[in-house]
Every structure is written in structure tokens, then in C-alpha cells.
Structure 1
């Protein structure tokens, strides 16, 4: 069953590996479920059922005109869980933008079937810099993402975005150029409409009201040198607002932990799941 049809008729591409307690992996913007492959394999090998899917508008999923708000994306998650039968004793793991889907599912769907959650480099609780969120990202920086995509999407992703994503600089180069090329290729699989609409969604959706809905053990992992999603506006604020949460900070780590710190991330997830 490689595809699930959502309640509004969108086809969602699903990977379903292994058997056991389900772990649902939600990918970041603007990638696809392929970014989770090493962790998904490790989970399946460890006796879990790893389910990862391409968000609507990205990867191999359908690219409808509408539905890139977090309410609809949380409904997509609910539909995938129901269609795969992974709607009990499930753990939700959201990376970056995917953390917002976890938060909105917990509030909008009451956390149905979820026994644990993990937020990795997540945008939760609020990305935008405001008077009451001073550590967030300025509006002009978020607008610059859309401007760069509209001007030259391949150049923006390859030479600007993915370098920051993986912490590549003049001295630091924690991943190979091949990883940068691979991430760029995943980013370019997404539709222009969905890429822009989701950037608007993750940059401007306030998940602070959703935090109280986390009623399960929650692991929060974030790099202290994440310049894509600043840790003070995200992980540290989320840990302060989510009861029964555990914050693990990766010192000096950038945003793309699944590649730069893949083994550590895998081990931390397996340890958390084994509790």
C-alpha cells in the first residue's frame, strides 16, 4: 500500500517498514520521507514499525492547490494513521516543520492513539519574531525565503538554504557536497505552490496554544547552533511549555541533525522508545 488517500482526495506516498509498535516519522521542509531512511531502517531493525510519508505537495505525494495549513496537515496525519492501522500505541516523531504536525495533531485530534512524541529541530512553538516571542526569526528573513525561491529556486536551495541547514561554512563542512546535492534534489521534488505555502505555514503558525495538548512523554532534540530554527524560540520554549518533556541539546549542532548527527539521533530515539 504505497499510497493513502486523504479525506480531501489527496494521494499520500507512504513507506511502511518493519513490524511492532508504530513510529510515525514526519519530515521537514522542503524534503521528503527519504530524509528519514537511516533512522527508519534502524527502527525497523530494532523491532519497531517505521512509517514515513511524503507530506502533500512534496516527494511522490499529490500536489493539490490547497491544504497546506496545519489543520489540514494534521488531518493528513490522522488519515495515514487510520489507513495503515497505526492508530494505537503510536509514537510521533516530527522533524522541523513536521513538529508542527505533531503539535496540531495532539490538539486537533486529542492525541488519539499516541503514547509518546518527539520533536527534532522542530519549529514548535513559534518561529516568528514578535514582541512576545523575541527570539524568533524576523519577518523580513522569512519573506527572504519566499523571495529567494521565486527568483531562482535551484540556486536558493543549493547555494543558500541547504548550506545553512547542515551548518556548512567557510571552515565547517559536516556533510559532503553529495549530501547537499541530494538534499537539493529532494527539495526540488516539491511543487512551487506547496513549497511557498508550507514556508508561510511553518513561519507564521503559533503553536503555543497547542503545547498543553501534549499529554504523553515527549523528547525534544535540538542543536544549539541551529540557525534555521533558533533553539531559544523553539526547543527551549517547547520544553518549558510541555509537561513531562525531556530536552536534549546537541552542542554546536546545526538544523539537519538526521545527517550531521545521524547515529546520535538514532540512538537517542531508540533509547527514548525503549523506555
Structure 2
């Protein structure tokens, strides 16, 4: 299992992911779930992955292969999505459709053998970025290959172990946050999920893509012993305790106090 977040903001995009891969209680390892593609100066893509590790790695390899072939030959082979690689896409939804097609093809190739062994081939992705003067955007790509887009009403997307990290995103998040505050919010969401589920864990990766800059302004990896992680959870815990003490008293407490 893993946990990845993509956050759409007026000022750009924020991405966060853990790096834990669990193949049983006796085999836990770390793999990056965040991939960055900058195939041309007018575009940038960040891809987050969850699900079967072999599937997600194969999808990334095919994406890179298609880019390499397009660069070598100077042309792309258009598919159903209207794009043969990330360099030939004119719109972000075309890139999401292309990755969905690649993912479905990889899953179908190995599904029968994996299901016979009792393993799922499914993988899901979050794709965010910007192409040229088109608006920046964020998509979640399902195992079936279709995708949904983040909106101002639903600005963040999650894949993997999603339930534990939702409360801070729902209660504090909004699209007018600064990119740095959104990165802090995504990080606390990752840390809280780690504390509740052992299949999620560091190193944590954070990436920021400012609107209209077509590049990453920040891409950092926080190891388990990073002082920022301890500070984040201590600060959040203290704030929660303070909020608890500020909650209104029950009616019976007022009655007991007046006796």
C-alpha cells in the first residue's frame, strides 16, 4: 500500500507521496512513487503511482520509452487519446488518457498470471502539470484507464491508503492556500496516515509546480529522521490539544460548576 496526494491550487500544484512498499509483514521496502517528466520547455508533468509496483514501474518505463522514440524519430504515433507520448499532447486530458491506455495495456498483459497467483495487477495514478498556455490541472487515473479531474470544489485527489489523511485536507484546505502552506498540509496528511497505518511510511516526497512556470520550484525528500517530520507532528498535536480545551463545555458541566 501507499499514499499519494495531488492538490490543485489557484497558484499551482502540490504533490506528496510516501515511499513504502509492502509485500507482506516480512518484506517492506522503499520505492519512490513520484515521477517527473519535462519533455519540452513548455510542459511539465508529475505522476504519482499506487497499486501493483510491477505495473506502475512498467507504465513509467513505457512512457519514457515512447518519449525516447519520439525524440529519436522526430514523430509520434498517435493513439486513441490523440497523443503518442507526453511531448505530443496539446491538452492535459490527452496526457491522462494516454497514460490510462498504457496502464490498461500493461495490466491486461499480466492480469491472468497475476490473478492465478492471487495478486492484483491494478494500478492507479495521479497526473498533474501544465502544457503551454493551457490551465494547469490535476487528474486521477483509475485502473480501468478513465480519469477524473480535480476542480475548485474538489481540489485534492488521493490514491492508496486515503482515509486517514482526509481530515486535515477537508478541514483546513482550500484552493487559495499558498503553495508552501498546501505542501505543509499535504505533509501532515502523510504523517498522520503513517501513524495510523504501517503500510505507509517515509521517505516522503514533496513537489511544487507553480502556475505558468512549467517546472518544479521544489522537489524534496524527507527521510524518517528528518527534523521537519518530528516538528510537524509535535506542532499538530499541540494545536489539537489546544483546540480540545477550547471546545464549549457540556450543559451538565455548567450545572455542576454552579452547585
- TM-score (norm. length: structure 1): 0.28
Question: Relative to total residues, which structure has the larger helix share, 1 or 2?
Answer: 1
- TM-score (norm. length: structure 2): 0.29
| Larger-gyration structure (1/2) | 2
